[in-house]
Each structure stands twice: as C-alpha cells, then as structure tokens.
Amino acid sequence: MNSAPLVASPVSKSDSDPVKSPAVQAMILASGRPMPLDSGAVLGPFTLAYETYGLLNDSKTNAILVCHALTGDQYAASAHPLTGRPGWWSTLIGPGKPVDTDRYFVICTNVIGGCMGSSGPRELNPATGQPWGLNFPVITIADMVRAQVLLLDALGIDKLFAVLGGSMGGMQALEWATSYPERVFAAIPIATAARHSSQNIAFHEVGRQAIMADPDWAAGSYHTAGRNPSRGLAVARMAAHVTYLSETALHRKFGRNLQDRIAVTYGFDADFQVESYLRHQGSTFVDRFDANSYLYITRAMDYFDLAAEHGGQLANAFASSPVRFLLVSFTSDWLFPTPESRAIVKALTAGSASVSFVEIETDKGHDAFLLDEPELFRIVKGFLDGCAEQYGLAARSTAQQADRKAARPRRGIRADLKLIADMVRPGSRALDVGSGDGSLLEHLVHDKDVDGRGLELDPDGVHLSLAHGLAVIQGDANTDLAEYADGAFDYVILSKTLQAMRDPRAVLEHLLRIGHHAVVSFENYGHWRTRLSLMLRGRSPIDRERAYRWWESYNIHPCTIADFLDLTKALDIEIEETVVLGPVGRVVKSVRPKSLANLFGEQAVFLLKRRRQTT
C-alpha cells in the first residue's frame, strides 16, 4: 500500500470548458506526496474520475479493473452523460454477462490526461487558476497505472482479481501485470501490443498535426482563449477511425454507395456514404473529447515499450510472473495484428507463465473487441470462471453456482486418454500438445490437480477449451514448441499427433527438452488389420481409428511400434512404461516381444524420459 496520505472521499467536480462535463464520481489522490512521473515531473494532488458496478465483497477479493482505449472513458457499462449512448463495453459488462456484476466489483477509471473528470490538460492548474493546456506534464501508460494503483489503495483493495482492456486498455493491463504482478491475479489484454509500432506512431502523428494545424488550437491555449480546434480534432478522429475498421467491413457497410444522390457531383462534398460516415464520426467526437487530451494520450501510447523498460528483452518483463494471462487478437485487425499478441505469448511461454491465447476470426477489424463478438464473450467468461475457481472466488448464491455448472458441464474422456492421465503424477505441471477440445486437460486439472496447459492449432478446439476455463494457446507444435523453456513441465503429452508432425524426431526431442517426462501415443500402422488390408486389398486401411481416405489423411508419417522403438533407441530415450491397446481400447496382454506388440496393438502409449548422462 502506498504510504502517502490520500483523500478517500468521493468528490463532485465540474470544469470550465465550453463543453460542460457532468458531476462525476472522483477521488483526489496524492494530496500528501506528489506522484512521480516517467518524465521526471511530479503530479499531485490530482483527481481520478471513475465508475463502479456491482458490489465489493467483504474480503475485497472480487475487484476487476477495466481499462479503456484511446478515446474511451470511465463509462464502460453506463450511459454516457454527454451523448446518452450505452457504455462502450456494455456488451461485456453487466449482470449475467461475461464480466458479471452480480459476482464481480468492476472499476473503470478515466485515465490521467483524459477529459471526463480526471486531471488533464483542460483541467485547472492549481498553481495558476487557469487550464493546464500544454503545461500539463507529459504522461505515459505507466503513469496512468500508477494513478490507478493510488485509487485502489484509497479504496482499500490490495489485489485485483483481474484487469482487462483492449487496445490502449490492453497496454494498461500489461503494465499492471508486469509492474504490479503481486497485485493482479489474472490479466486479459485484448487487441494490443507490448509496444507501439512505427506505423501506429505515424498515424498518431497525422492526427496530432491535424489538431495543431487548426488555427483555433492557439498553441494549446484554446481554453483560455475561448476557442476550440474542432476541425483539427475531427480530422484526427476520422483518420484514426479508418484504422479501427477493416477493408472488408467498410466495403460491406458502404461499398461505393453514394450519399443521398444518384450521381457524383464532381466536387468535394461527401459524395460517398463512407465519406459522410467519417465526417459524422469526426463531428460527434468533438462534442465529447478534448483536443489536448488527444495529444497527450496518443503520445502515451507512442512511448509504450515493455521490452525497453526491461533491458530490451520482453521475456524479462514476465520472468517468473504469477499472473494468469488471456490474450486475444482478431484476424482482420491491422492496427494491432496477431503477430503483436504472439510476441507477448512467446515472451510469456519463455518464462513458463500461465498463458492462454486465441485469434478470433472476424472481419470487423480492430474495433471487434468493442462489438458483438459472441466468441470473445464466451472465451472471456470461461477464462474468468476458471480463474475464479483457482482464486477461491465463490459465486454469491447457490443458484449462480448451479447456473455455471450447467453452462460448463464436465466431460468424460476416452479410454486411451485415461491411460495417459494415469501416467501423470497428481499435482504436477503438464503441457498437452495438440490438446484438441481440452477433454484430457480438463480431466488432469480437475481430477488430478495438475497445473495443466495446452497447445492446439485448431481454433474450434482452442475456443472450446478456453470456454471451459482451461489455459490453452492457439499455436502450431511444429514451430511453437521451440518457444518453451527447458524443463518447464514435469510432463509433456503428445496424443495421436506425432505422425502429423513435419519432423517427428525434432518434436520428440522438444518434448523431452521441455518436460522431464513425455507421454506419446499414436496409431500403430504395423497392426495386423493394416497389414491385411495392404496385402489382400492393396489399399490403405479405412477403419474406426482412421475413418478417412488416404488423400484426406492428416497423417504424413505412418510409423509402427517397431519404428518408434527404433527412434527412441537412436535418440537414447528411456522407455519408462508402455501400454499397447487393442480393439475398443482394451489393453493387449502378453505383448512383451516387440513383434507381437507391433502385430496386435492398434494404438501404443509410451512414457519416456531422457537417459541420465554418465561421466
């Protein structure tokens, strides 16, 4: 807890801007000791405006901090007092919604430097009695988070159950998780990055120059002069808004349709619907946002660079992190594309952090995180529910507990997966490579108290796993295993996936580098039915386990038990346990001779480890 004296009573506040602000819920912070900023300046006392939803429980363990994007504010789930529009994340936050205010206490602040009641360039400088203007100190994402920390201190909340946000809100979530990991249980950064790209900095500079080129900007002193650079701010908003959308979404919505006319005018009015739409976005934006705040907040995003704050290595930011992460990206987001999220996932896996990641298929662009995306809602809800179980955060009522169990019923597992689970020690750490729908992982986590993670290429399997509260990364075992640290897990599991790998030998070596033990299962192509089909019919077999024709097969390395034993010998791998399965998952007895196992086994399961090197 910060030891600086704090004024913890809410205050009502208004400002002198021509665009009137309503009374807001706010807190005066750092009144006893100014808050240091990254720039070297200090700020204090200052005001932080915020909204809350739901009730804080007696132990103060159910708090979720929601962080807003560039042009957002504290009205995440309540009607905006100036526009009357629903909260910008009202689709996600509310009773019975993914961020369930019947269960969680949700806090959303307006960042410092903002313009909806928090201290910023349009507020009065107590030293001069005039609006701060450009005399307000330049702030960073880290400064925004420091202010939020002081607010939580004032509210008596020592630890957040979760922090989440999209875009700039995702940057704040990352800053929370790296600078205050002991105060965050779970973090959900959505459509964001660990640093602002040069392209995004360029777009921001275009917007800033549009504002500063407006004669009414008056070198930043337009408040004092009674002016408003609305034209420049509108252009800045128009340019930025284009980056929030995708070409597909723009074409679907507008195409080349004309606006209220049957032919072009051969002039510079809004001939096209898309032009009219952007002008509307710009004109309505100036009614609720301050031009100088736009300068300050875009600059804060430009300066954000987690790796630079940690010796130039992003993995250092997440070293030994206890925080549980869920990262989400969108296929059509070109402002914060998926590789930006994957870079964060790579850094987290290098540090053996608990991380889930999914890329959601959508054509809605960067703004998808603010729109009606059922898959996003399902994943966020599943992740929070799973974290709540781990955190010991019970539902408020028996009915709510029953509703969650009904929404997420436990699933059974196949006989071969049960055999694999029996090889994994309770309470251990395990990575399931090719985790599918997560049924094995779920069994390990809930029935054997295993700290289980998954890696799965198929997005449907990832979505289903995340909706069941499991920690799964959407990724490719052929390439992504290299990102995991040596000895990160007790067990690494590869079930019926080895034969589909491009380089099975390299994958097997990765399994035993990442894990102290590996559990590998595969279909045996040396089984007598396979041999009989090839000998009598001259065709690849089609049976219960391989119900596809050869050209539909995902298997590219149809090895036999004998082949696999040869590989383990070549790699000097010790076989700790072998189980060979016959029809209907039955364990085949008396198969110790390699030739008999290879003849009668339909599937084999091996528990492996590296041989100890002797000197």
Pick the range with the lowest mean pLDDT from 213-227, 298-312, 557-571.
Answer: 557-571
Res 121 pLDDT > 90: yes
Q: Are 210 and 294 in contact (CB under 8 A)?
A: no
Kindly report whether the global pTM for this prediction surpasses the value 0.95. no
Among the listed residues 333, 385, 432, 480, the single catalytic one is 333
The pLDDT score that the predictor gives to residue 536 is 75
Q: Output helix, strand, coil percentages for the chain, rounded to the nearest 5.
A: 40, 20, 40
> Model confidence over 131-170: pLDDT tens digits?
999 999 999 999 999 999 999 999 999 999 999 999 999 9
Q: Which is higher by pLDDT, 456 or 396? A: 456
Query: What tens digit of pLDDT does each residue of 271-280 get?
Result: 899 999 999 9
Nearest residue to 21 via CA among 85, 117, 114, 88 = 117
- Would you state the pLDDT for residue 553? 64
Is the backbone of residue 256 left (phi > 0), alpha (psi -120 to 50) or beta? alpha
- The amino acid sitting at 365 is G
Residue closest to 578 by CA, chosen among 492, 519, 507 = 519
DSSP three-state, residue 583: helix
For the chain, the first-to-last Cα distance in angstroms comes to 52
Which tokens go with 339?
């590789």
Structure tokens given for 62: 């159910």
Residue with tokens 């529910």: 385
Give the residue with greater pLDDT, 64 vs 537.
Answer: 64
Q: Pick from 171, 162, 169, 166: which is nearest to 193 by CA?
A: 171
* Catalytic residue check, 80: no
What is the bridge-based pairing of β-strands 184-190 and 63-67? unpaired
- pLDDT score, position 7: 33
| Known catalytic membership, residue 527 | no
**pLDDT band for position 584 (cuts 50, 70, 90):** low
More confident site: 225 or 525: 225
Distance CA 473, CA 14 (A): 46
Residue carrying the six token digits 């990102």? 483
CA distance 103 to 491: 35
Residue 30 gets the label, from left (phi > 0), alpha (psi -120 to 50) or beta, of left
Q: Are 40 and 55 in contact (CB under 8 A)?
A: no
Measured CA to CA, the distance from residue 531 to residue 540 in angstroms comes to 9
Least confident of 82-91, 430-439, 453-462, 553-562: 553-562
- Distance (Å, whole) CA 613 – CA 615: 7
Among the options 366, 510, 517, 527, which is catalytic?
366
Q: Is 226 exposed, middle or buried (0-12, 13-18, 19+ CB in 10 A)?
A: exposed
Identify the CA nearest to 165 among candidates 112, 106, 121, 205: 106
DSSP 3-state of 391 = helix
Radius of gyration (Cα) for the chain, nearest Å? 28
- Give the C-alpha separation, 128 to 546, whole Å: 79
The average confidence (pLDDT) of the chain is 89
H runs (alpha helix) in 481-606: 504-514, 528-532, 561-570, 594-600
312: how many CB neighbours lie within 10 A of its CB? Answer: 9
Neighbouring-strand partners of residue 163: 65, 187
Segment 442-458 mean pLDDT: 95
Span of 265-279, 382-396, 437-451, 506-520 with lowest mean pLDDT? 382-396
Q: Do domains 10-197+299-370 and 410-610 have the same CATH topology?
A: yes
| Nearest C-alpha neighbor of 517 from the set 485, 501, 494 | 494
- Position 590 pLDDT exceeds 90: no
Between 14 and 46, whose confidence is greater?
46
Max avg pLDDT among 52-56, 252-256, 402-406? 52-56
pLDDT of residue 17: 37
Which residues make Cβ contacts (< 8 Å) with residue 313, sequence separation at least 6? 307
Domain ranges of the chain: 10-197+299-370, 201-290, 410-610
State percent of the chain over pLDDT 70: 88
Catalytic site residue from 21, 167, 293, 354: 167
196 belongs to the catalytic site: no
CATH class of domain segment(s) 410-610: alpha beta
Domain 10-197+299-370: homologous superfamily in CATH: Alpha/Beta hydrolase fold, catalytic domain (3.40.50.1820)
**The pair of three-digit structure tokens given for residue 250, joined into one six-digit string:** 């723009």
DSSP for 396-413? SSHHHHHHHHHHS-----
What CATH number was assigned to the domain covering residues 201-290?
1.10.1740.110
- Short-list 138, 122, 200, 136, CA closest to 168: 200
pLDDT-derived band at 33, boundaries 50, 70, 90:
very high
In the predicted model, is pLDDT for residue 11 greater than 90?
no
Q: What's the rounded Cα separation, in Å, for the pair 188 and 467?
A: 14
Which ranges of 226-359 does DSSP label H, i.e. alpha helix? 230-244, 247-253, 273-285, 291-303, 314-317, 338-350
The mean pLDDT value for 373-377 works out to 95
Q: What are phi and psi of 57, to 5 degrees?
A: -75, 170
Residue 22 — pLDDT band, cuts 50, 70, 90? very low
Give strand pairing partners of 493.
432, 519
pLDDT at position 524 = 87
- The pLDDT of 181-210, averaged and rounded, is 97
Residue written as token pair 């032919």: 263
- Report the pLDDT value the prediction gives residue 227, as an integer from 0 to 100: 95
394 token code pair: 């019970």
